[in-house]
Chain A
C-alpha cells in the first residue's frame, strides 16, 4: 500500500477536481468543505467480511420486518417485545404511513449501519440509519482515483470491486419501480450531501430532480422533461420525511412535492427509503434490534449492539445513575455526532446538570458503555498517526438483501476523539474487502 499512500496529496487534488465536498451551515451561512481522504485503506479479510455481511443483512431484514409490523398489525407491541413508547409514540413514527404497504413490502432499501471494532476485534453496531444514509459516493469515487494513481497496489492486493454501487442502486430502484423512470429527488445544491445526490444520479443512470421538476396528477408522479412529461416509477428521495409532501407533512415545506403521499398510497410510485422509517432508527429503538432479530427471524443475532441502557427502565436508570461518569450519554433527539456526551469528560457541574436532565426525561436519553474502539493509522506529511475510526456499511435491499463490499470508514480529526462525523472535521478512508 506504500505506493498508494505516497499519492495521498494527488488523490485529494483529484477529489477536489471532482467536487467531492460536503456542505455545512455555520452561523446561518452555507459553506462547502472538502472531505479529507486518507489513502491508508481499512482492510477487512474475506472471513471477517463473510460474518459481518451476514450479520448486517440479518439486521436489516429484521428492521424491515419491524417496519412492516409497526405500520401494520403491531404484533411486536402486543407480544410485549418492544414497548409502545418506542414505537407509535416515537417522533419517527408517521401516522399517515399506517396501513400503506410499499412496493414489494420493502421499507428500508438503502440502510447505512454504523459499526466500530473494539481492540479485541469484536464488531459492534452503534447506529442504524434507515432514512437517508449518505456517504457511499465517497469511497466509490476515491476507489476509482486510487486505482488510477497506483494500479500496482490493486494488482498486488486482492480487493473486491466496489464500483458496482451504481448498478446495485439501479437494481434496487428497478425492483420496486411502479412504471416509469427512476428519479433521485434532491432538496437542491445547498444540501450538505448534494455531491452525492448528483454523483449517484449519474452512476445509477437516474434523473436528478428537484421539487419543481416533479408534480403529481391523477395519483401519479411526473417529471417535466424536454420531450414531454415522463411518468416516475421510483423516487430515491434525499429529502427528509417532514419536508417531502407539504400537503401531508409540514405545510411550509417548499422543497416537497404536493400530493406525493397520495401517489405513494395508491401504489403508483415507490419511495426509497419509505417514509416513516425513522421509527426504526431512533437511538432508543436501537436497544431492541437484537430482540427483533430473534422475534421476526427466529435467529440469534450475529452482530452485537454496544452495551446500552434505557433510563426509562428502572433497573437501567439505577445502573446509569451509579455509573454515570463511565458512560456515553446520547440525546435521542440529535443526529450527526451532536448530542453525544462522554459524561466523564464533563466538568462536575455540567455532569450533574446532565444527570438531572436524564433523570427528569428518561425517554429522551440512552446511555452506552464506552467502547474502546480501535484506532487506524492516518497518513500525515509529518508521519503516520492513529485516529479513532468507525465504518458505515451500506446494505441494499432489492430482490434480496445484499451488503455493498466496501463502506465509508470515517476517522476523527483529533487524537483520542471518538466523534468521526465529517461535520465535526473528520476525514474518510476507502474500505477494502479482500477476496478469499
Chain B
C-alpha cells in the first residue's frame, strides 16, 4: 500500500498501541507504588533498561511520579495518553464522538490527577475511561477493517510490553491467539516469515530466552506502520 493511503490505518493502529501502553503502564506503576509503601523500592533502573528508555530520575518515588505525570519526559504515561489522543482526535468520524469522548475524559482526569491529592486513586478513573473507550469502539466502529486495526494495536503493544518486562508472561499464548485472529481482519500487510515464526513460538514463547526474536517479529509484523 502507498504510505500516504495509510495515514488513517496508521493512526488507528497507533491509537490502539498507545491506549494499551497507557493501561499496562498504569497497572505496573500502581503495583510498584503499592510495594514501595512496604519499603520495597521499585527497581526503576532495570525497568527502564528493559524498555530501552532513558531515565532522568534518581529515586524510586521520583521515577514513579515522573513516569506517570511528567509531560517533559517523552516516555511518560501522560504522554502515551496524549499520543493516543493525538491519533484519536483526527479519527472522530471513524471511531465516533462517543468513543473519542472517553479518550478526552481520560486526558482530563490524567491532568487533574497529576495535581490531585490522591493521584494513584484517580488513575483508576483513567483506566475506567480507557476500558470504556475499548467497549465503545467495539460498538461504534462499524468498519471491520478499522475496528480490527485498533485491536491489532492493542495486541502488538501488549505482547511487546509483556515480553520486554516479563510481565504476565503466562498469558502470552492467549495474546498470540488473539493477535492471530485479529490480523485476518485488518488491511495491513504482514511479513509472512515473521508471522510464521511467531505462530511457531506461540505455544511456548519463553520470553526469557527468546526476547529479541519475539520483539523483532512482533514489532516488524506489520509492514505498513
Contact = CB atoms under 8 A, between A and B. Distances in A.
Interface of A: 16-19, 188-189, 194, 198-199, 201-202, 206-208, 210, 212-213, 224-227
Contacts of A212: 4, 7
Interface residues of B, number: 22
B93 A201 contact: yes
Contacts of B97: 18, 199, 202
B90 A18 contact: no
| Chain A binding surface SS class | mixed
Contacts of A224: 2, 4-5
16 contacts: A16-B108, A18-B100, A19-B104, A189-B86, A189-B89, A194-B89, A198-B93, A201-B92, A208-B90, A208-B93, A224-B2, A224-B4, A224-B5, A226-B5, A226-B143, A226-B146
Contact of B100 (A16, A19, A194): A19
A47 to B, nearest CB: 35
Nearest to A207: B93
B7 A213 contact: yes
A187 to B, nearest CB: 12
Contacts of A188: 90
Nearest to B129: A17
A19 B101 contact: yes
Which of B90, B143, B146 has the most C-beta atoms of chain A within 10 angstroms of its own C-beta?
Answer: B90
A225 B108 contact: no
A206 B7 contact: no
Contacts of B146: 226
B11 to A, nearest CB: 11
B89 A198 contact: yes
A225 B101 contact: no
A267 B4 CA distance: 26
Given A16-B108, A17-B105, A225 B5 contact: yes
Interface of B: 2, 4-5, 7-9, 86, 89-90, 92-93, 96-97, 100-101, 104-105, 108, 143, 145-146, 187
Contacts of A208: 90, 92-93
Contacts of B96: 202
Nearest to A200: B93
Top-5 shortest CB links A-B: A198-B92, A201-B93, A224-B5, A202-B93, A226-B187
A27 B162 CA distance: 43
Contacts of A16: 104, 108
Given A16-B104, A19-B89, A199-B92, 16 more contacts: A17-B101, A17-B104, A17-B105, A17-B108, A18-B101, A19-B101, A189-B89, A198-B90, A201-B92, A202-B96, A202-B97, A212-B7, A213-B4, A225-B5, A226-B5, A226-B145
A99 B2 CA distance: 37
Nearest to B88: A19
